[in-house]
């Protein structure tokens, strides 16, 4: 059963990814969102980490396009299609399919923010992440504690992927993929 919080968050995600504001999402919107994140991190789209993020975002777009039955290059998602896919593949089925698709995006953002190179995110790097993607109204230290499932003081890609799903389920209030 989808709650009003879940529906609201799916709509906010749609609105965020509808970069040009035309009421639908297409490949160019996802590309523009990835480029906005790269700009916030000061990373060039042609750099290896930049290319990784762009590829990951376009991989998520390909997932949504496939599930909607639209052409990946020329198609566009309506809010209804997006919400149906979110309900079936993010909120439903345990999120396994979506977790596989979102993991490369999270890994790519970790590559951008992981200044100490250990493959995980520490509290300072996490704050940089939230700042770069434009999250407001979240206390970084408290959000970090919510996401740090094993309490080791570092966030793994798996913990971050789970946090993205938990956000969409309404279990936490930390939008890791943007405002």
- Split the chain (179 residues) into runs of 10 and give each run's mean pLDDT: 75 86 94 91 95 95 94 95 83 72 92 95 95 88 95 96 86 80
Q: Model's pTM, two decimal places?
A: 0.87
CATH architecture of 4-169: Orthogonal Bundle (1.10)
**Domain boundaries along the sequence of the chain:** 4-169
Report the 10 Å Cβ neighbour count for 153: 11
Whole-number Å distance between alpha carbons of 19 and 37: 12
Cβ–Cβ under 8 Å, residues 161 and 127: no
Output the pLDDT for position 165: 84
Listing DSSP states for 77-124 in one string gives E-HHHHHHHIIIIIISGGGHHHHHHHHHHHHHHHHHH-TT-SSSB-HH
pLDDT of residue 168: 79
């Amino acid at each position: 059963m989808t709650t009003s919080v879940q529906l609201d968050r799916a709509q906010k995600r749609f609105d965020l990814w509808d970069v040009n504001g035309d009421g639908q999402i297409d490949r160019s919107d996802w590309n523009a969102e990835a480029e906005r994140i790269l700009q916030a991190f000061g990373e060039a789209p042609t750099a290896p980490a930049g290319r990784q993020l762009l590829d990951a975002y376009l991989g998520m777009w390909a997932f949504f396009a496939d599930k909607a039955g639209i052409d990946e290059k020329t198609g566009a998602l309506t809010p209804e299609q997006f919400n149906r896919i979110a309900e079936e593949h993010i909120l439903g089925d345990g999120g396994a399919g979506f977790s596989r698709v979102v993991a490369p995006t999270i890994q790519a953002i970790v590559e951008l923010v992981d200044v100490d190179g250990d493959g995980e995110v520490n509290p300072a790097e996490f704050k940089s992440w939230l700042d770069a993607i434009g999250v407001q109204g979240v206390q970084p230290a408290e959000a970090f504690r919510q996401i740090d499932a094993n309490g080791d003081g570092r966030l793994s890609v798996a913990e971050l992927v789970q946090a993205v799903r938990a956000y969409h389920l309404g279990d936490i209030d930390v939008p890791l993929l943007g405002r």
